[in-house]
Structure 1
């Protein structure tokens, strides 16, 4: 469990509260947004390879469906907990709202270390989880997707289980699945591509030349590896990468294509790459790089390591990587923070594209997917930057206000809040 001080659910509620106050909105808006509309806990008994039965715990949170069905990933991790899943579902709502995507926020998780499971045990757990949450999911209800320690293969097992229960194929009930069964081209790379698009825009604002810039990454899973790939293609020198097993450093730049080849089968960790020296996570955060990218889990940029960060841009490829104390220090240091609910929204964007393609039963070329992704990411970045300039606030606060503004308009249209509750807000926004 996270500590009370760094509880992601408390953090996101606090940020929503601040944004509602800054925007001059009625307290009722905060009351609607502060917690998920539905939270499901399920038991997941799995027969292990040795014949014993182990009962895992799973969750699914659905925050708000005012814009459309809820949407969000499923993570398998030993530190999954109720408050984390709730916070992640709220962040998903805000991501969709910032990029004008017709989804609400959902998130799921199972308390498990998948590395301790055989392939058969992992498949059984995946199928059991989807069976248990079937009553509340579907293409018009709630659409799962991959997250930490899940993959297109896992999504394939899950959609197969759902289809068998329903008796026919329903490709739009899950995204991030293999392309052969309705997945979208470009989905696997989407989050990392979106991260780099926002970095490119931040560099433009700061008048930085990316071809002469350096970067360090925490995390080299799907998001971290794709981020490194696209940074390398822009000419950015990636000098350090850390993962769950350690870290690597090369002042002259890590050979990213060679590293991607090294880890492509999923059996090797980036930190075991021999063509670099070892580095600790703590040291990586203090390197004199231009761009720092936390791409792992929550609560990584803290009051302890934030004072040592020298980067000009901190791009939050992970969800909730910065604690409030760390955030305050970054602001004092003048570091340009690309907040998570904007920075890593490429994944939900292309998941939306996948859902649209499934609904039409007509599929786009990868170039079209990538072009549409760039349009959405730049649209969201510009909206947040404009809000930052208008309110003279941090990028994080601006992102929350943009997302909440969008949700408030939907609340007003549906009659969830009264016109009198909107009057002051509308006057302030003129």
Structure 2
């Protein structure tokens, strides 16, 4: 079955419309919620290292202003276009609403292949892009806060921060203009692994629900679950890492050059190092090669985690997917037609719009840190440790027994910044999962978890608009 042609924003709108039928909001409010409020399309020249001039095409989309600032990553890719940034900005609006992060959705993109530019050229592009955003007030700690995305990272965020601060001397909260920064530049510990960790927490919570697992014919918990991960980038790597460390088996890993399979399990770090030295994950010791990377999506497994590209599961291959659960770590890995096929097969699809919200959740923590001007844990860590030591001392004195030294260290430990970030992310993903599941179970006409997630998002954004008095 070939997919009907949808552009990305139309696919998001289609999912929105499917869920809107299960809400009480009138058509005008629904139209406002799903509309993209503003798109800034720009062109600017840069001088390349060889002296030639190249005109760069770039975008920033602000989907919703129901809460400000807007929030969303900046990607560097040859595939960037207006449709993509609008769709991703819309998903950010709904994602933030579901996980109770008080931002409107935004997204940015520069239409380049970053591998074809030197570091100096990338710095010039990034700084010029930032200055263009500043001119139109499309960036600022209370206006629009970018973050890393595909093709960008801490380095680019540091360039953005420096450019913004140079253009806003003396602005006390300037550091909050962008997240995903190096820790030394106001970043937060735990941001790099946040998306993968959020994927782990979300899927783990679903797997802890006995009624859901019974319906799928699976045991509760993640120990022993067979998992296929597509993509060994930042998200795929950390997702695989956390699942393996908690007792699951990563039976296959796929990348663009092919895939590898080992029913006894793979170690993502060993695979990563093998790829680093050989430029390919293929021929990994003890694993079987799959020359066609897409074949990994059709392997026997309990959980399939597409963590790379859009539309990898579609009308052509969805019927051959054997996983009981699909966790969308990437943005838009399933087409609308794939959704229909998998829903009829009884496959549980845990949707991207909340499952990969770990990144924006920890970005929110970073933004709060920047506005408060104090590191998480700095005020209470020593107090907590001293208090815990006192409690243990009292227990030992009263019982006449000594607590094991390793256990004592664990109990005495006061929270570091990363401990607090992990804890906040875990609670966020658990609450969001339970809220979506409650919505789904409350209405047996809602066909799937994605639709339930949209219903939750629409209700929260609609309520925000109503409370603002825009629709009395």
Over residues 169-193 of structure 1, what are the superposed CA-to-partner deviations in whole Å (9 max), with x where a residue is unaligned?
7210000010011001111111000
Q: How many residues align?
A: 414
Partner of 2:293: 281
Deviation at 1:4, TM superposition (A): 7.5
What is the CA–CA distance in structure 2 between the aligned matches of 1:410 and 1:270, rounded to whole Å?
Answer: 48
Q: Deviations over 1:245-297 (max 9, x none)?
A: 3322223221223234456xx78756257333432222101100111011112
Q: Which residue of 1 aligns with 2:148?
A: 146
- Which residue of structure 2 aligns with residue 157 of structure 1? 159
Q: Which moved more, 1:13-22 or 1:286-295?
A: 13-22
Taking the aligned partners of 2:32 and 2:4, their CA distance within structure 1 comes to: 23
Instruction: Output aligned runs, 1:363-378, within 5 Å.
Output: 363-364=375-376, 365-378=417-430
Which whole-Å CA distance do the structure 2 matches of 1:294 and 1:98 have between them?
Answer: 21
Does the residue aligned with 1:71 lie in a helix, a strand or coil?
strand
Q: 1:231 to 1:126 in 2, by over 3 A?
A: same
Match of 1:308 among 304, 320, 323: 320
Residue 192 of structure 1 contacts residue 346 of structure 1 at CA under 8 Å; is this kept in 2?
A: yes
- d(CA) in 2 for partners of 1:158, 1:277: 43
Alignment partner of 1:5 is 2:1: no
Aligned partners of 1:268 and 1:350: how far apart in 2? Answer: 34
Computing the radius of gyration from Cα coordinates, the structure with the larger value is 2
Is 1:227 equivalent to 2:239 in the alignment?
yes
Is the Cα contact below 8 Å between 1:314 and 1:336 reproduced in 2? yes
Q: How many Å apart are 1:229 and its aligned residue?
A: 0.9
> Which residue in 2 is equivalent to 1:193?
197
What are structure 2's unaligned runs of at least 5 residues? 214-218, 377-416
Q: Answer yes or no: is the 8 Å Cα contact 1:245–1:269 preserved in 2.
A: no
Structure 2 matches for 1:352-391, cutoff 5 A?
Answer: 352-364=364-376, 365-391=417-443
Show CA shifts across 1:103-145 (max 9, x none): 0101001111111112222222211211111221100000000
> Which deviations, in whole Å up to 9, do the C-alpha atoms of 1:36-85 show, x marking residues without a partner?
11100111322112111111211000011212210000011111111111
Deviation, 1:23, is: 1.1
CA distance in 1 between counterparts of 2:450 and 2:83 reads 21
Look up the match of 1:422.
none
Determine the structure 1 residue equivalent to 2:76.
76
TM-score under structure 1 length normalisation? 0.92
SS across alignment from 2:189 = coil
Q: Does the CA-based 8 Å contact 2:232-2:272 persist in structure 1? A: no
Contact 2:306 2:330 in 1 (8 A): yes
1:239–1:86 distance in 2 versus 1, CA, 3 Å: same
CA RMSD of aligned residues (A): 1.7
